[in-house]
Amino acid sequence: MSRAILQVMIRGRVQGVGYRAWVEYQATTSGLEGWVRNRRDGSVEALFAGTPKHVADMVALCRHGPPP
């Protein structure tokens, strides 16, 4: 089985809206490993590790963000 690892930075309105917690929940639900953290500059940084499909799906989710 192949494995993908990808580090991403998410900018925009991501702090104060539960974005980090949402990313953590989505990644855990998808069976991904890694970490996610808020950064001082207001962005969110994450590292996803898992199957290429699950990592790609998580990146797609990050582009849309949590429901309003």
Residue by residue, pLDDT tens for the chain (68 residues) are: 799 999 999 998 776 778 899 999 999 999 999 999 999 998 999 999 999 999 999 999 999 888 87
Please tell me the distance from the alpha carbon of residue 14 to that of residue 64, in angstroms, as a whole number.
11
Task: Determine the length of the chain.
Answer: 68
- Output the pLDDT for position 52: 97
pTM exceeds 0.85: yes
- Which amino acid would we find at residue 41? D
Q: How far is CA 40 from the centre of its chain?
A: 17
The catalytic residue positions are: 20, 38
- Output the pLDDT for position 15: 66
- Output the pLDDT for position 16: 73
- Output the pLDDT for position 27: 96
Class of the CATH domain delimited by 4-64: alpha beta
